[in-house]
């Protein structure tokens, strides 16, 4: 990520990830609730999955996720311009529970 001047207060990087719960299937094999959380706190940055800010406490990302069918999720990393230069180490953990 790089800032090239301007009035912004932060820089946001967005990525799409494709996920599937369980074995691949043409049709849904039921549904689940998908949660995400950070394995360790990340100082000075905000991480969102589909617009939901995640922290070390599990957050519901989506309910009624079809099991076996791939779904695309958007991950955003927002870093304020005041943050020091250097790497950001973050690991997102995912958990799914059947309904």
* pLDDT for position 69: 97
Q: Which domains does the chain have, with CATH numbers?
A: 10-98 (2.60.40)
CA distance 55 to 57: 5
* pLDDT for position 29: 94
Each residue's pLDDT tens digit, 49-78: 999 999 999 999 999 999 999 999 999 999
Phi/psi of residue 12, nearest 5 degrees: -120, 130
Tell me which H or E stretch contains 78: strand 71-80
* pLDDT for position 7: 63
Percentage of the chain with pLDDT > 90? Answer: 74
CA distance 42 to 55: 8
Position 4 pLDDT exceeds 80: no
Mean pLDDT score of the chain: 91
pTM value?
0.84
Span 43-50, average pLDDT: 93
SS3 69: coil
Which one-letter DSSP state was computed for residue 19? Answer: E
Relative to beta strand 10-19, strand 46-49 is unpaired
């Amino acid at each position: 990520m790089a800032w090239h001047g301007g009035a912004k207060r932060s820089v946001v990087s967005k990525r799409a990830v494709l996920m599937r719960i369980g074995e691949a299937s043409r049709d849904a094999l039921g549904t689940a609730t998908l949660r995400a959380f950070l394995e360790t706190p990340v100082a000075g940055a905000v991480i969102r999955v589909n617009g939901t800010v995640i922290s070390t406490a599990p957050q519901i990302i989506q309910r009624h996720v079809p099991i076996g069918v791939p779904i695309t999720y958007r991950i955003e990393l927002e870093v304020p311009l005041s943050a020091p230069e250097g790497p950001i180490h973050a690991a997102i953990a995912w958990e799914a529970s059947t309904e």
